[in-house]
Amino acid sequence: MAKSYADLLREAREQIPEVTPAAADGLRDGRGALIVDVREDEEWDAGHVPGAAHISKSYIEQRIEDAAPGRDRPIVLYCAGGVRSLFAAQTLAAMGYTDVTSMLGGFQRWKAEGREIAMPVALTSEQKIRYSRHLLMPEVGAEGQAKLLGSKVLLIGAGGLGSSAALYLAAAGVGTIGIIDFDVVDLSNLQRQVIHANDRIGERKTESARRTINALNPDVNVLLHDEMLIAANVERVIAGYDVIVDGTDTFETRYLLNDAAIALRIPVVHASVFRFEGQLTAFVPYEGPCYRCLYPTPPPPEMAPGCSVAGVLGVVPGIMGLLQANEAIKLLLGIGDSLAGRLVLFDALDASFTELRLRRDPDCPVCSDAAVAARAAGTPLAVPAFGADAPFVLGGGLGAGAVAGGGA
Amino acid sequence: MSRVWIPHVLRAAAGGIKQLELEGETVGELVRALADAHPSVGAQLFTEAGELNRFVNVYVNGQDVRYLDGLDTPVSAHDEVRLLPAMAGGRDEGMRDRDVR
């Protein structure tokens, strides 16, 4: 027997419970319900329920499982007036979702009741294509992409670690990438520093990195800090960045950066490399340990030779830099489990990863509660001073302060 | 016997080996056994006063011994002990590079 639209609508109403916008609002806050907007892109772009997922009705079967893997999570669907959401809800019920409702009166009624509205980020049509693989994933989506575009990441060093990190952060659409490096491109860099190029030997690394980044993604605003990171400028340089990707290898810079980033509450994604081996962790202020918790004092230089002395397999900083970019993106988006409190060791010869647990030092002179209180009182705790006599400082005027700011 | 992993940075001093099986009841005994077997590794691990240098961390099965019982942390057969000194990273600052060239 042929059915009319009215028949189908009546059947849907009989099958699917409807909730008022007020009730939907309550479900959203109270029961961890997923609100799904099933309208078309242009309707969504004109405003939507805050926190809602957007899956247009034509894609509901294909994409709902990504957004709601569990079949018993409460789901509220809405459209403009409350009809399309009823039919979409029937589909979800047929797929085995057990708690699906449709919002009465749809977004029009939500809006008429004066409820909060989120204006989606206006991605340009070019951005929608460029970032389409991100937009497809609910963990990123348009909101996450907008977050990335509005984010600022500082790379300490445009070297081996910074090269791969910068390329992928730029490709991902991190809107502002700052680079601090005072060095120039050298032929011996090109075995691993893939952001530079043969025809840029002798050029400033910052400028070379900017050219590569903007050739890949003109969305990215590249800020160049053509200077050394020193005590006098560290706070000015890092202020305003959301995440710092640390590709330094002088201990003085590392401690300097650590102390300033803790004070300004900026997470530092740290990596270091040696020959066939890399280490990676995230120093998230007050959530996990800081660099001083891990290593209160630096090693003497003979126990911490750099790549130009010890050598490094070119892919190792590339791999570690990519893992840094991964951590930075997770921190910016607030997704996944960060590496705060975990150190990952990568061994290229074994092709193995090993994880070690790190802890906050309750007596840390920089990130312990006592240290925070002391700073607030204007009397910061003493930290080990790394002056001219510090064991890691090179002699002959090549103090760590003079070379800090280069990159791995 | 517990397995002690030597980080790359110390391997040259340990004759190129990556890991070795050592006998000991505690972390301290193992590390000292390592130092006895490879004195130049020992020289980099311990201070003159015989304390472990603070730029070297020791992990038993992934846990930092500083938050267990330090060098007195007991170890049993099949435990994995890792030494991890602070690593410089991939230095390429121009000044030292130019020095080396």
State yes or no: ipTM above 0.85.
Answer: no
Q: A243-281 pLDDT, tens per residue?
A: 999 988 688 889 999 999 999 999 999 999 988 999 999
Probe site for chain B from A164, A206, A303 (most B CB atoms < 10 A):
A303
Per CB-CB distance under 8 Å, the chain A contacts of B8 are 274-277, 347
Q: What is the pLDDT, as a whole number, of residue A355? A: 95
Which of A79, A307, A364, A367 is flagged as catalytic? A307
Token pair of A111 as six digits? 């809006």
- Name the band, by pLDDT with cuts 50, 70 and 90, for residue A388: very low
pLDDT digits (tens, 9 = 90+) for A96-132: 999 999 999 999 999 999 999 988 777 999 999 999 9
Of A155 and A306, more confident: A155
**Helices marked H in A131-217:** 132-135, 141-149, 160-172, 205-216
Give the per-residue pLDDT at A242.
Answer: 97
A294 touches chain B (CB under 8 A): yes
Mean pLDDT of the residues in chain B: 82
Which residues of chain A lie closer than 8 angstroms to B3, CB-CB? Answer: none
Residue of chain A whose alpha carbon sits nearest to that of B63: A357
Q: Both tokens of residue A369?
A: 């509660």
In 3D space, the residue among A138, A208, A207, A146 whose CA is nearest the CA of residue A172 turns out to be: A146
Q: Rg (Cα) of chain A, in Å, rounded?
A: 26
In this prediction, residue B12 has a pLDDT band, given cuts at 50, 70 and 90, of confident
Residues 232-261 of A with CB under 8 A from B: 247-251
B59 contact A CB<8A: yes
DSSP state, residue A203:
S
Over pLDDT 70: what percentage of chain A?
Answer: 91
Rounded to an integer, what distance in angstroms lies between the CA atom of residue A330 and that of residue A149?
14
> Strand, coil or helix: what is A394?
coil
Q: How far, rounded to the nearest angstrom, does the alpha carbon of residue A109 sit from its chain's CA centroid? A: 36
User: Binning pLDDT at 50, 70 and 90, where does residue A143 land?
Assistant: confident
Q: Which residues contact B7 (CB under 8 A, 6 or more apart)?
A: A277, B82, B83, B84, B85
The mean per-residue pLDDT over the stretch A306-310 comes to: 67
Arithmetic mean of pLDDT over chain A: 89
Q: What is the pLDDT of residue A300?
A: 74
How would residue B5 be classed by pLDDT, with cut points 50, 70 and 90? very high
Measured N-to-C along each axis, helices A84-94 and A60-67 cross at an angle, to the nearest 10 degrees, of 70
pLDDT classification of B101: cutoffs 50, 70, 90: very low
Which residues from A are below 8 Å from B7, CB to CB?
277
If one compares A300 and A149, the residue with the highest pLDDT of the two is A149
Mind listing the pLDDT tens digit for each residue in B23-55?
A: 999 999 999 999 999 998 888 888 888 888 888
Give contacts of A 305-344 with B, CB under 8 A.
305-310, 312, 316-317, 343
User: So what's the pLDDT on residue A45?
Assistant: 86
Q: Give the span between the Cα atoms of A137 and A332, in whole angstroms.
A: 16
DSSP class of residue A377 equals T
Considering only CA atoms, which of B7, B60, B54, B20 is closest in space to residue A346?
B7
Among B58, B91, B100, the strongest candidate for a mutation testing the A interface, having the largest count of A CBs within 10 A, is: B91
Residue A26: what pLDDT?
85
Distance CA A306, CA A400 (A): 12
Residue A386 confidence (pLDDT):
57
Cβ contacts of A54 within 8 Å, gap of 6 or more? A36, A37, A39, A41, A44, A48, A141, A142
B84 neighbourhood in chain A, CB within 8 Å: 279, 343, 345, 356
In which band, very low, low, confident or very high, does the pLDDT at A308 lie, cut at 50, 70 and 90? low
CA distances from A174 to A236, A242, A285 (A): 21, 11, 21
How many residues make up chain A in this entry?
408
Tell me which DSSP letter residue B6 carries: P
Contact check, Cβ <8 Å, B89/A161: yes
**Residue A183: its chain B contacts at CB < 8 A?**
92-94
With beta carbons less than 8 A apart as the criterion, state whether B58 and B64 touch: yes
Residue B79 to residues A16, A175, A343, A358, A364, Cα–Cα distance (Å): 58, 46, 19, 18, 29
User: Per the CB < 8 Å rule, is B90 touching A160?
Assistant: yes
* Beta carbons within 10 angstroms of residue A124's beta carbon: 9
Could you confirm whether A307 is annotated as catalytic? yes
Contact B43, B94 (CB under 8 A): no
pTM of the model: 0.78
Stronger pLDDT, A322 or A50, i.e. the higher one: A322
User: Residue A389: what pLDDT?
Assistant: 37
Hunting for tokens 């280490």 — which residue is that?
A279
Q: In this complex, is the C-beta atom of B94 within 8 Å of any C-beta atom belonging to chain A?
A: yes
For residue B29, give how far its alpha carbon lies from the nearest alpha carbon of chain A (Å).
Answer: 21
Q: Is B16 on the interface with A (CB under 8 A)?
A: no
Q: What is the mean pLDDT of the segment spanning A77-91?
A: 96
What sign has the CA pseudo-torsion A176, A180, A186, A192?
negative
Confidence of residue A385 (pLDDT cuts 50, 70, 90): low
Question: pLDDT by residue (tens digit) across A274-300?
Answer: 889 999 999 999 999 999 999 888 877
CA–CA separation, A74 and A61 (whole Å):
17
Q: Evaluate if residue A219 carries a pLDDT over 90.
A: yes
Nearest to A408 among B53, B90, B100 (CB): B90
Chain B residue numbers with beta carbons less than 8 Å from the beta carbon of A347 are 8
Dist. CA A140–CA A60, nearest whole Å: 18
Q: Residue A371: is its pLDDT beyond 50?
A: yes
Out of A274, A304, A359, the one facing B64 most closely (by C-beta) is A359
